[in-house]
Structures are given as C-alpha cells and as structure tokens.
A and B are shown apart, each in its own frame.
Chain A
C-alpha cells in the first residue's frame, strides 16, 4: 500500500468513525410532534395561600362521585406543624374533607394531641393530588393496559378494563390511588378531565376561595401556571423517584414529601 493511499483511507476512517450513529438516524416528524404536543396539563399549588378549609376535598368528592363518608379521596390536604424542639407533626383527618377546625392533631391510633401555639415554629397546609407524572410508575406496572397517559399528559384509569389487582395502588410513590368501593376498580384524580377538556377548571381549583390551586398548560408560555413554573421557586414531591411530577408547589419545605 502506498503512503498516499494509507493516509487517505485513514482520514476517511477517522471521519466516518467520528460521526455517531444517532446522527445518521432518520427522524420521524410524527414522533417528534408527539413528544412535544401543544397541550400538556400542569398543576400549581401555592401552599402560602392554602388555609386548610378543605372545600377542595369536598368539591372533588361531590363532583367525581367518590363515596362521601368512605375513607377514600382523590385529593386531600395535610397540616404540617414544625415544633420549636424540631419535631414535625402532621395530620389529615378524613383527608380534610371537613377542613381543619381544631388545635387537636389527629395522631391515628395514638389518639389526638393538642398543639400549643407557643411551641409552634412553623405551621402550614399542603394540598395533595395526583401528580400526573411524566414517567408514571403506576401506569408502567398495570398488567392489562387499563391505566394510561393521554397525549395531553393526564393519567387515567379505564374502568371497563381495570381488573382491580391493586398493583398500581402499590406502585404509586405518592399514595394517590385507591380502590373505589362502588365501582370496584382502581381510582385516582383525573385533573377533572371532563371539565378541563371543555375549557373549564378542575372542581378543586374552582372551589378554592384563595386561589391556592391552579391548572394550566405547561406548553403555553403565556399561561400563568407555566410562567410560575418557569420563573418562580417551585418544588415537586419526591423527586428522587424519577417520576417527573407535573404538580408544582410554591413554598415547599424539605419536611413535606
């Protein structure tokens, strides 16, 4: 082999090897569009504004036909109290369906405990609901294809297809799923899909007098929720699970998870 040929073929080989395979892959425009749709629902909770009245929980239960007195709910509100001695106390009696009206904190089997004002360093309320994760663990574990994510980012349960195995209820890191005592399938927050897809608001956000809950389109740069998520100091719950939640919180403490 001549030296000229050797150098030529080496140059061709090096140039060829430096192009990664992914650069040569043909991109399907449909696939690109599907991964960035025009609409992606997101939720914003401002914990400073929440006063723990629980009207959201009541509205959710009535709107979505969740048995009112059964101990299941699609959304709930937690009360957190950080005591001056470093103790963290939290409760959510009946999911806060009747609000927080007492200084007695529900401690489950340990009974109730009176919170004295002078012992409290910080106290606030945190509304919780389904995070409609971008990578939902609950959907991944469904053995029959009954739960799924829509193109606009809402996680739903097909009541005709669900066999009630309960795997998704175990799989959700946030504990937002439950077994519906009447329908006998897994159930969860739908972001009030029937309302938002007709231009309405979720029942919980509409019932909130203080605007602590808002829903919006994360893909629209002019949407108030998208703006807050982009510009303000927001947090998500249990980021370590890698589920990429779409419910964002303003004023989240590290004690809340």
Chain B
C-alpha cells in the first residue's frame, strides 16, 4: 500500500492506543456491568459502599433515652408521645461531644406545623386540636403557656 493510506492509518491507530491507555488508567477496576445487568447496573461498584458510609445525623429517640430518660418518660406519658425528640430539638449528630448543646426550636412556626387549624376533611390533620395563628395570642411563643412535654390543657 502507498504512503497516503498508511500515514492517516497510523494516526488513527495512535488515537485508538491513546484512548485505550487513558481508559486503562482512568477507569477503576470495579467499574462495569454489575448484578442488575447492563441497562440498570452499569456502574462503579465501590460507590455503593461510599453511600453506605455517609454519616447519619438523626440518631433516634432511643439514643436520647440513654441519658435523658426522664425527659423521654415525661413526653411519652403525654399526648405528644408520638413526636420524636429530634423534630423539636434538632438532629443529635455527635451530641454530647459535637454539638455540646442542642438548640431547641421554641418558635410558633414549629407548633403551627400541626396546630394551625386547616379544614382537611380526608386527612388526619382534622383530628388535631388547632388554632388560627393570626388571632391566637399573636406575638407570644406557644411554650410560654403550653408545656410541649405535657400539652394537656387541664394541667396548664
């Protein structure tokens, strides 16, 4: 064959070799077709473990109960027993080391998430005692009168 055929062919072969070399060094060994097949399982396998190692921030009421069993007991005896601690106290993260103290959300905005009266006839919202936040003691925090760990109106 003549030179005008070989020369561009060398260029093409060179490009292919370069691409294969780049692929060899760049693509990790565990990248490829996994259990779910080519369509849904073409990925880097170690990424599954990376997601499993993502740090959790919410620890759950059982974690709180290890030290604050008195507080957990008080709310467990009240109408608010279904509310997890971290909904109001914030995620525990690595408490008590980091953060040393959790900031409690005492705002009206937190309480009215459930207790703003809405007419929702096909939802559990209708069964929750509610107020109109626009007229009910505006400017005050709910916790000034109502105890979140014992919201019973008789004990106010």
**A residues apposed to B, CB below 8 Å:** 34, 47-55, 59, 62-64, 98-103, 115, 117, 120-125, 135-136, 139-140, 145-151, 156, 158-161, 190, 192-195, 197-198, 200-201, 203, 206-207, 209-211, 251
Decide if A194 touches B56 in the complex (CB within 8 Å). yes
Partner of B113, one of A101, A123, A136, A197: A101
Q: How far is the CB of B55 from chain A (nearest CB, A)?
A: 7
Output the least CB separation between B98 and chain A (Å). Answer: 15
Docked CA distance A53–B124 (Å): 11
CB contacts under 8 Å to A, within B54-98, are 54-58, 60, 82-84, 86-87, 90-91
Tell me whether chain A's interface is mostly helix, strand or loop, or mixed. loop
B8 within 8 A of A: no
B123 located at the interface, meaning its Cβ lies under 8 Å from any Cβ of chain A in the complex: yes
Which residues of chain A are within 8 angstroms of B39 by Cβ–Cβ distance? Answer: 139-140
Contact A55–B113 (Cβ < 8 Å): yes
**8 tightest A-B CB contacts, nearest first:** A99-B113, A148-B43, A194-B54, A117-B119, A53-B113, A51-B125, A101-B116, A158-B47
A194 near B51: Cβ-Cβ < 8 Å: yes
Q: Is there contact, CB below 8 Å, between B121 and A156?
A: no
Which B residues are in CB contact (< 8 Å) with A210? 82, 124
Within the complex, the shortest CB–CB distance from B44 to chain A, in Å, comes to: 6
Assess A59 versus B58: contact at CB under 8 Å? Given A53-B114, A148-B42, A194-B51: yes
Cα A150 to Cα B91 with chains together (Å): 28
Min distance, Cβ B67 to any Cβ of chain A, angstroms: 19
Contact A122 B58 (CB under 8 A): no
Inter-subunit contact B118/A103 (CB<8 Å): yes
